[in-house]
Amino acid sequence: MTSSSNPGHNPQSRYADFHRRSIGDPEGFWRDEARRIHWETPFDTVLDRSRPPFARWFTGGRTNLCHNAVDRHLAERPQQNALVYVSTETGIERRYTYADLHAEVNRMAAVMRSLGVKRGDRVLIYLPMIPEAVFAVLACARLGAIHSVVFGGFAAPNLAARIDDAKPVLVVTADAGARAGKVIDYTPLVDEALARSKHQPARVLLIDRNLAPERLSAPYLVAYEPLREQFFDAHVPCEWLESNEPSYVLYTSGTTGRPKGVQRDVGGYAVALAASMAYIYEGRAGDTMFTASDIGWVVGHSYIIYAPLIAGLTTVMYEGTPVRPDGGIWWRLVEQHRINLMFTAPTAIRVLKKQDPALMRAADLSSLRTLFLAGEPLDEPTAEWVGSALGKPVVDNYWQTETGWPMLAIQRGIEALPPKLGSPGVPVYGYDLTLRNELTGEPCAPGEKGVITLAYPLPPGCMQTVWGDDERFVKTYWSSVPGVQVYSTFDWGVQDEDGYVTILGRTDDVINVAGHRLGTREIEEALSGHAAVAEVAVVGVTDAIKGQVARAFVVLREADRYADPASRAKLEQELTATVDRQLGAIARPARVHVVSLLPKTRSGKLLRRAIAALAEGRDPGDLPTIEDPSALQQVRAALEE
């Protein structure tokens, strides 16, 4: 059953009609939506379908993301706050009006231009949650450069891999980030990454926060502040880009261990985000939106930076945790900044659920209209708790780095369909979504588990391709479902009679830890680099707080050396430290279990799903192809230790 054949609880609902039109007449539908942004040159064609599965939107049209996010608001709202920055790590709070933001972005763009950045060049941004990160992203958009933001928690090898793939002419970094009261030195990580990478950017631009004593001393280092003063009154004109020129590359974990660079366009992305603010988030110019994410992730790109600003909102950027200085900090931010829309991950709400409820009751939350959640499946107890505690609508939504904006949600700006606990909602306009049998490719009946797929063409704002690798784009995303060329999300789901979809988990070896997608293969490769490890399997295991955590099962080269508990504990510390160094703390396994045998098929394939089932206390089911059934007992015994 396709969603478009039975979308929503009422086939004659406003939502159903809206969704049907978006699928049946995408050219007419998106031509109307394209009026939400400024086009310097009108487009010739709404949709170019000449080379499926590739799609080109608004061909011939020229626009600029920075102009749409900043410049075009200067006439109507120059003194409205555009960006409010709050850091509970440093105690710093700053407010930037649209006029202020325009000036800062021009300064950053002039600095980048002086360092040789031009249209089509890549700029890698490795920054914590500071205003300069927003300036840098928008400056790239202004210049027509392609930004590639790397999460500041990633370790040097991870950063080096992205430098080699994106080949930036400039890296923008800071002396340090801060989280939970701890300072994380960035400059040594950048130095190590550059030592590891084959590609060498011409310059590294350093934002000095005066947090870390170490500095890069290499000749390619350039301090930002003196250049900012030099270009204080600069005005850099926007580069008008053809709609399908790349705007950014954002890397996401893959099952091969090699990250995929998701390439996004300019015009389609701007239109999709502008429409989503109206139909999904119900954001209006002058509203204030607080998205508690990081600019290193797609949520930060889309809903901290671009979408709120394109729609003329005030966006709140937060550096800190939800429980420091205490579990009431986010609720106080809502009160202090009169926040209307809040967007975070279920993990954060599960953390806040454990805090003293008086902290929430103490804050005036009257300004808050809606809480949005995404990043991992939202469990029913958490949804019930936060909805009841807030007394506000809680809107779950489901999407991916690859799509750039939600594909499942209750689209309250179209019709406030009733929510169903455990489901993010119904297919979003523009997405022709179908659940399919993974073996036959046939559409699933209501209630039948299937792979969530999208028909061609993907709507505006979705990934164009894998950076520098069209073949990988086709092979990875469009070739895994038998009998039909459709985009696979690699997520299991089930759709009910009313069209609501419930997410059941991944079909591949990517896990979701607190909203961060991590390839188990990447963690396995990091652990296998330790001299003590002969074999390793990493699986994602359900966790009450984070949604999923990684658990590792290792076979040692010399098990006798680690027979006593003290040696075993020390080894586990060494192995987790190895992952920290290679991938960063977000990839650290919750536990490392030692076994003498890993469950495999007779052809040698690791039975990761069986391992994950045992780790979650479930029956692994019938495994007729297992090579040695005693391996399952090895896993059980390790889990009981």
Strands (E), 212-322: 221-223, 241-242, 248-252, 260-264, 288-291, 314-319
Q: How many whole angstroms separate alpha carbon 325 and alpha carbon 319?
A: 12
The one-character DSSP state at 596 is: S
Q: Which residue has the higher pLDDT, 574 or 519?
A: 574
Q: Which residue has the higher pLDDT, 203 or 607?
A: 203
Q: Which domains does the chain have, with CATH numbers?
A: 98-239 (3.40.50.980), 510-640 (3.30.300.30)
Please name the residues in contact with 26: beta carbons below 8 A apart, sequence gap of 6 or more. 46, 47, 430, 457, 459
pLDDT of residue 229: 98
Average pLDDT over residues 254-267: 81
Q: Answer yes or no: is pLDDT of 29 > 80.
A: yes
Q: Which of 38-42, 87-91, 453-457, 597-601 has the lowest mean pLDDT?
A: 597-601
Of the pLDDT bands very low, low, confident and very high (cuts 50, 70, 90), residue 521 is low
Q: Answer yes or no: is pLDDT of 124 > 60.
A: yes
Average pLDDT over residues 2-11: 43
Average pLDDT over residues 116-124: 98
pLDDT of residue 4: 37
The one-letter amino acid at 304:
I
Strands 510-513 and 260-264: unpaired
Q: Which residue has the higher pLDDT, 546 or 330?
A: 330
Please name the residues in contact with 107: beta carbons below 8 A apart, sequence gap of 6 or more. 135, 228, 231, 232, 234
The one-letter amino acid at 107:
R
pLDDT of residue 160: 93
Whether the Cβ atoms of residue 486 and residue 453 lie closer than 8 Å to each other: yes
If DSSP codes are grouped into helix, strand and coil, which group holds residue 146? strand
Of the pLDDT bands very low, low, confident and very high (cuts 50, 70, 90), residue 253 is low
What average pLDDT does the chain have?
A: 91
Which single residue is written with the structure tokens 């671009």?
306
Q: How many whole angstroms separate alpha carbon 56 and alpha carbon 98?
A: 31
Of the pLDDT bands very low, low, confident and very high (cuts 50, 70, 90), residue 405 is very high
Share of residues in the chain with pLDDT > 90 (%): 69
pLDDT of residue 625: 58
**Residue 52: Cβ within 10 Å count:** 11
Q: Which residue has the higher pLDDT, 124 or 527?
A: 124
Please, is 133 exposed, middle or buried when counting C-beta atoms within 10 Å of its C-beta (0-12, 13-18, 19+)? buried
Q: Which residue has the higher pLDDT, 241 or 601?
A: 241
Average pLDDT over residues 492-501: 94
pLDDT of residue 378: 80
Strands (E), 219-271: 221-223, 241-242, 248-252, 260-264
pLDDT of residue 179: 87
The one-letter amino acid at 496:
D
The 3-class SS string of 175-190 reads CEEEECCEEEECHHHH
pLDDT of residue 10: 58
If DSSP codes are grouped into helix, strand and coil, which group holds residue 155? coil
Sign of CA pseudo-dihedral 577, 578, 582, 587? negative
Q: Answer yes or no: is pLDDT of 1 > 50.
A: no
Token output for 478:
């469009």
pLDDT of residue 375: 81
Q: What is the pLDDT of residues 424-482, one digit of tens each?
A: 999 999 999 999 998 899 999 999 989 999 999 999 999 999 999 999 999 999 999 99
pLDDT of residue 341: 98
Q: Answer yes or no: is pLDDT of 258 > 80.
A: no
Q: Answer yes or no: is pLDDT of 503 > 80.
A: yes
Q: Which of 32-41, 297-306, 448-457, 541-550 has the lowest mean pLDDT?
A: 541-550
Q: What is the pLDDT of residues 593-628, one digit of tens each?
A: 999 888 876 545 578 888 988 998 888 876 655 767
Q: Which of 10-14, 88-92, 290-294, 371-375 has the lowest mean pLDDT?
A: 10-14
pLDDT of residue 602: 52
Q: Answer yes or no: is pLDDT of 11 > 60.
A: no
pLDDT of residue 9: 45
Q: Answer yes or no: is pLDDT of 7 > 50.
A: no
Whether the Cβ atoms of residue 186 and residue 212 lie closer than 8 Å to each other: yes
pTM of the complete model: 0.83
pLDDT of residue 255: 47
The one-character DSSP state at 50 is: S
Beta-bridged to residue 435, according to DSSP, are 452
Token output for 482:
């038998």
Q: Answer yes or no: is pLDDT of 256 > 70.
A: no
Share of residues in the chain with pLDDT > 70 (%): 94
Q: Answer yes or no: is pLDDT of 158 > 50.
A: yes
Q: How many whole angstroms separate alpha carbon 215 and alpha carbon 86?
A: 25
Q: How many whole angstroms separate alpha carbon 46 and alpha carbon 8?
A: 27
pLDDT of residue 355: 87
Q: Answer yes or no: is pLDDT of 6 > 50.
A: no
